[in-house]
């Protein structure tokens, strides 16, 4: 890390990062033991302790094994924010399978393109979204589907029984295809590779009646694939970024090093980004759980619920859209809410206003909002504004608020450079505009099944081309000027 960045880093922030764990299941298992009696998840009045979360993950993992899912198999998750979504995510990773998350509202045509690309063996789908699968060609469908009931708070709104839904879909499938080649079956049957043309619908609650996975069942390695992440737009030829267990553990270590004096097992995180987004993965599903935080899941911006959660639980981390940051800053400015506990407000979309930035600084004792710069290929964060209380850092935040292009300095253990777009091996001098490149332990390992596209953006020594035109100043701050290409997104998907 160049010395010029040091004054913008908080005291105690590590310049290099060595993750404590090399795979996600090991980190979750350790958290379940270390913080056993602490609340891990808090969702609309329902809670799970770390011990309970660990048990549920182990049970679900064995349930997936019982249904024929094995290491390396791709498993689709189309789930809204819920306790079950967190359990499913980690159960898939526990057995070494690969998670591919999508918004549960992804249209059938787009979902079909995704399925064609990574060929899922199983899809774990919210019950009310099973119908979308009837509009996907048989060749693209997984053999096994597991239906997850709506969270209890949603059941009162739309009462659809699992049996009724499956019966309806069975009739729909028969009518739409003219045959029962793709039956939605009520009965349980293990997923099998190959075999008859069709797939089977199982019940999530049956998965959760299995025994716990054997503690000796092999953990994945740091080099094993954990996720395939697709951008929001999909396109005719979607590109899935390969994220390994090592990437996720490094991202967590980088995030935790940024707040060197936090207290494991004694903090809370307010998580409002969808779990299928890169922010949801990097905060609610990994970093905060590794650290023993109480992860408060709020699926929609309810002003009263957010203010109540901040007042009651005093979160250290806020992962939310700028609208939430604006609202909390306004409440704090009017003396209606104390937000001083928030050390990091991670809002990776549009810029905040100067008024909001000023109110936030006053309310949090000069702790700036972090608007992270990143993309699927960098597993969320590549650059952030400095958070040191030095005057220079405050100036940087003000500049950041005034200019939508300033994204800050490199994240811990991350390097950035600006290169000539026509000769990407030539690094440009300070102040010259060129294409931004990023390197770090959180950077992806290529595009799924697309070595041709991988070689276009990823160098042999780990540098990734972002597709952004940028300038780096003498202090190391990066300003984004525009796009070189439109294939990759800096912001994270926001839809539930």
Q: Could you report the per-residue pLDDT of 121-178, keeping only the tens digit for each?
A: 999 999 999 999 989 998 999 989 999 998 875 444 333 333 333 333 333 333 232 2
* pLDDT of 344 above 60: yes
Q: Which pLDDT belongs to residue 7?
A: 67
Mean pLDDT of 391-414: 59
Strand 122-126 and strand 200-203: the pairing is unpaired
- Residue 231 binned pLDDT confidence (cut-offs 50, 70, 90): confident
- Residue 241 binned pLDDT confidence (cut-offs 50, 70, 90): very high
- Residue 366 binned pLDDT confidence (cut-offs 50, 70, 90): low
pTM: 0.86
* pLDDT of 187 above 60: no
Say which CATH class 3-10+240-483 falls into. Answer: alpha beta
* pLDDT of 5 above 80: no
Q: What percent of the chain has pLDDT over 70?
A: 75
Q: Which pLDDT belongs to residue 177?
A: 27
Mean pLDDT of 186-200: 42
- Annotated domain spans of the chain: 3-10+240-483, 50-220
Which range has the worst mean pLDDT, 1-15, 18-32, 325-339?
A: 1-15
* pLDDT of 386 above 70: no
- Do 3-10+240-483 and 50-220 show the same overall fold? yes
Which of 92-96, 269-273, 371-375, 454-458 has the highest mean predicted lDDT (pLDDT)?
92-96
- Residue 191 binned pLDDT confidence (cut-offs 50, 70, 90): very low
Q: What percent of the chain has pLDDT over 90?
A: 55
- Residue 8 binned pLDDT confidence (cut-offs 50, 70, 90): confident
Q: What is the pLDDT of residues 9-65, one digit of tens each?
A: 767 777 788 899 999 999 999 999 999 999 999 999 899 999 999 999 999 999 999
Which range has the worst mean pLDDT, 283-287, 359-363, 470-474, 477-481?
A: 359-363
Of 3.40.50.980, 2.40.50.140, 3.20.20.70, 3.40.50.1000, the CATH number of 50-220 is 3.40.50.980
Mean pLDDT of 291-314: 95
For residues 341 and 357, which has the higher predicted lDDT (pLDDT)?
341
* pLDDT of 486 above 80: no
Mean pLDDT of 348-368: 65
Mean pLDDT of 335-355: 76
* pLDDT of 398 above 70: no
Nearest to 201 by CA among 252, 274, 149, 269: 149
- Residue 411 binned pLDDT confidence (cut-offs 50, 70, 90): confident
Mean pLDDT of 428-438: 94
């Amino acid at each position: 890390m160049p010395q010029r960045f040091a004054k913008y880093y908080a005291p105690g922030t590590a310049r290099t990062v060595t993750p404590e764990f090399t795979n996600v299941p090991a980190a979750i298992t350790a958290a379940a033991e270390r913080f056993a009696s602490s609340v891990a998840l808090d969702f609309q009045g329902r809670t799970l302790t770390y011990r309970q979360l660990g048990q549920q993950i182990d049970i679900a993992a064995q349930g997936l094994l019982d249904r024929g899912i094995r290491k390396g198999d791709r498993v689709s998750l189309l789930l809204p924010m819920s306790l079950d979504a967190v359990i499913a995510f980690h159960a898939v990773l526990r057995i070494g399978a690969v998670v591919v998350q999508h918004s549960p509202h992804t249209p059938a045509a787009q979902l079909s393109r995704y399925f064609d690309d990574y060929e899922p063996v199983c899809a774990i789908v919210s019950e009310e979204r099973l119908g979308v699968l009837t509009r996907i060609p048989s060749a693209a469908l997984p053999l096994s589907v597991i239906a997850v009931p709506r969270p209890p708070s949603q059941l009162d709104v739309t009462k659809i029984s699992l049996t009724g839904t499956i019966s309806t879909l069975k009739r729909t499938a028969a009518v739409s295809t003219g045959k029962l080649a793709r039956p939605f079956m009520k009965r349980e049957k293990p997923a099998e590779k190959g075999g008859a043309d069709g797939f089977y619908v199982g019940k999530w609650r049956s998965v959760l009646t299995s025994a716990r996975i054997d503690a000796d069942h092999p953990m994945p390695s740091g080099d094993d694939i954990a996720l395939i992440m697709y951008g929001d737009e999909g396109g005719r030829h979607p590109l899935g970024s390969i994220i390994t267990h090592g990437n996720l553990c490094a991202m967590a270590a980088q995030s935790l090093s940024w707040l060197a004096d936090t207290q494991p097992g004694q903090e809370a995180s307010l998580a409002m980004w969808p779990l299928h987004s890169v922010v949801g993965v990097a905060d609610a599903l990994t970093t905060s759980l590794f650290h023993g935080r109480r992860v408060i899941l709020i699926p929609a911006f309810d002003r009263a619920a957010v203010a109540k959660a901040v007042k009651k639980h005093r979160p250290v981390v806020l992962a939310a859209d700028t609208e939430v940051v604006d609202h909390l800053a306004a409440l704090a400015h009017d003396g209606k809410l104390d937000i001083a506990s928030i050390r990091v407000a991670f809002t990776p979309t549009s810029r905040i206003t100067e008024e909001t930035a000023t109110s936030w600084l006053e309310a949090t004792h000069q702790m700036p909002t972090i608007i992270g710069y990143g993309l699927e290929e960098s597993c969320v964060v590549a650059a952030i504004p400095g958070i040191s209380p030095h005057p220079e850092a405050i100036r940087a935040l003000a500049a950041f608020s005034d200019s939508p292009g300033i994204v800050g300095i490199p994240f811990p253990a991350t390097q950035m450079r600006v290169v000539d777009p026509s000769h990407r091996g030539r690094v440009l001098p300070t102040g010259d505009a060129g294409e931004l490149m990023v390197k770090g332990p959180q950077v992806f390992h290529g595009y799924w099944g697309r070595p041709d596209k991988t070689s276009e953006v990823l160098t042999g020594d780990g540098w990734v081309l972002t597709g952004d035109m940028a300038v780096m100043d003498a202090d190391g701050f990066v300003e984004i000027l525009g796009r070189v290409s439109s294939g990759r997104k800096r912001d994270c998907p926001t839809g539930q």
